[in-house]
Amino acid sequence: MDIYTWFERALRQEFDQVRLIKESSRGSVRVVRHKTTGRDFILRQFTGNPEVYQKLLDYTCPNLPTVYEVACQGDQNLVLEELIQGDTLGFLLQDALFTPEETRKIVIQVCRALWVLHSIGAVHRDVKPENIILRGSEAVLIDFDAARLHKPEHEMDTQILGTTGFAAPEQYGLSQSDLRTDIYSVGILINVMLTGEHPSKKLAEGKMGHIVDRCTHVNPQRRYKNVLRLMEAL
């Protein structure tokens, strides 16, 4: 019996579905509960490349959900991961903006999560308020369905993924995504947290505005070299 079939069977026998979070043509995200322990998990079922989830099996970081199991069959994937309790930045931004100090603290934690991803050669490619959960004082970056490993031999991405407004220009086929792609999205994130607007409409004031401007430069070589440099600037 292959690992995918075994895992699929184990899920049916050992877990109950609690609720469906989202569903699309690419897959679904559900909360499932272990029948014996009563513990809740996230179950992702998606079509695509699971390589980033597979790499994260070996890593733990307070700003990333723990990945417990990955099973694949062709391009079909099942991922069991930690359920992060809290509200997304997208939800919180519906009611109020963040102060510069709050933004700085949260974005530094997002950068720590990205540092782990970038250290294994992965690019998240979909950093946005809906993919960041505040768990108490901790910011946790979630959802690696659009993530991919950087392949230096490729000139451009094989699949265009990302969220309009947050995706860097190179994600639209101009060149290949790399770690500076995520830095672009973090720049947009900072601006939205502070102003509620895309920087093309309203740029944040002061030093934070200068950081946003550098993060979101069209030319990736003009952005911060890596997230450590961005964290230093913050």
Residue 4 phi, psi dihedral angles, 5° rounding: -65, -50
Report the distance separating Cα 126 and Cα 123, nearest Å.
9
Whole-number Cα distances in Å, 156 to 120, 131, 173, 179, 180? 19, 24, 6, 14, 14
User: What would the two tokens of residue 95 be?
Assistant: 């009611």
The CA dihedral of 206, 210, 215, 216, to the nearest 10 degrees, is 90
Beta bridge pairs of residue 180:
none
Strands 138-141 and 15-24, how do they pair?
unpaired
145 flagged as catalytic: no
Residue of 126, 143, 145, 182 with catalytic role? 126
Quick one: residue 48, left, alpha or beta (phi over 0 = left, psi -120 to 50 = alpha)? left
Report the distance separating Cα 213 and Cα 230, nearest Å.
12
Report the distance separating Cα 192 and Cα 90, nearest Å.
10
User: What would the two tokens of residue 127 be?
Assistant: 């950093």
* Active site positions, annotated: 126
